[in-house]
Amino acid sequence: MADHTIFVENRRNVFSERRRLRSGCACNENEGKSNVHVWTFKESLLPHFEPVQPELFAAAGGQPNCWADFDNDGDLVLFVGFKADLPNRLYRNDGGTFVEVGANLKIDDLPDTRAAAWGDFNADGNFDLYVGFTRKSGAANKLYRNDGHGKFVDVAKDLGVDVKGETRQVSWVDFDNDGRVDLFVAFRDAPNMLFHNEGNRFVAVAKDMGVDDPRKTVGAVWFDYNQDDRLDVFTANQDGTLNGLYRNDANRFVDVAHELGIDAFGRPSTSGSNGLSVAEFDNDGNLDLFVAGYGANFLFHNDGGGKFTNVAESRGVAGGIKATPSAWGDYDNDGRVDLYVSAYNCGGSSSRNNNRAGCRCGSTRASVLPVCEKKSC
Ligand SMILES: [Ca+2]
Ligand SMILES: [Ca+2]
Ligand SMILES: [Ca+2]
Ligand SMILES: [Ca+2]
pLDDT tens digits, one per residue of 121-138:
999 999 999 999 999 999
pLDDT over 90 percentage in the chain: 73
| pLDDT averaged over every residue in the chain | 83
The DSSP call for residue 5 is: B
More confident call, 370 vs 171: 171
- Per-residue pLDDT at 321: 81
Question: Distance from the CA of 44 to the center of ligand 1, in angstroms?
Answer: 44
Question: Distance from the CA of 76 to the center of ligand 1, in angstroms?
Answer: 16
Nearest ligand atom owner, CA of 179: 2
Phi, psi of 101 (to 5 degrees): -125, 15
Question: Distance from the CA of 244 to the center of ligand 4, in angstroms?
Answer: 20
More confident call, 302 vs 9: 302
- Helix, strand, coil percentages (3-state) for the chain, rounded to 5, are 5, 40, 55
Question: Distance from the CA of 140 to the center of ligand 2, in angstroms?
Answer: 23
Nearest ligand atom owner, CA of 246: 3
pLDDT tens digits, one per residue of 292-340:
999 999 999 999 978 999 999 999 999 878 899 899 998 888 889 999 9
pLDDT tens digits, one per residue of 232-251:
999 999 999 999 999 999 99
Ion ligand 1, residue ranges at CB < 5 A: 120, 122, 124, 126, 128
- Per-residue pLDDT at 334: 87
Question: Distance from the CA of 179 to the center of ligand 2, in angstroms?
Answer: 6
Specify the pTM.
Answer: 0.83
Question: Distance from the CA of 86 to the center of ligand 2, in angstroms?
Answer: 34
Nearest ligand atom owner, CA of 222: 3
Does the pLDDT of residue 4 top 70, yes or no?
Answer: no
Please state, in angstroms and rounded to a whole number, the distance separating the CA atoms of residues 368 and 135: 34
Question: Distance from the CA of 121 to the center of ligand 1, in angstroms?
Answer: 6
Q: Are residues 292 and 275 in contact, defined by beta-carbon separation less than 8 angstroms?
A: yes
Q: Are residues 32 and 83 in contact, defined by beta-carbon separation less than 8 angstroms?
A: yes
pLDDT tens digits, one per residue of 17-74:
233 322 222 233 344 443 434 344 445 556 788 899 999 999 999 999 999 999 999 9
pLDDT tens digits, one per residue of 148-168:
998 999 999 999 999 999 999
Does the pLDDT of residue 347 top 70, yes or no?
Answer: no
Nearest ligand atom owner, CA of 231: 3
Nearest ligand atom owner, CA of 302: 4
Question: Distance from the CA of 157 to the center of ligand 2, in angstroms?
Answer: 20
Dmax over CA atoms of the chain, in Å, equals: 57
Ion ligand 2, residue ranges at CB < 5 A: 174, 176, 178, 180, 182
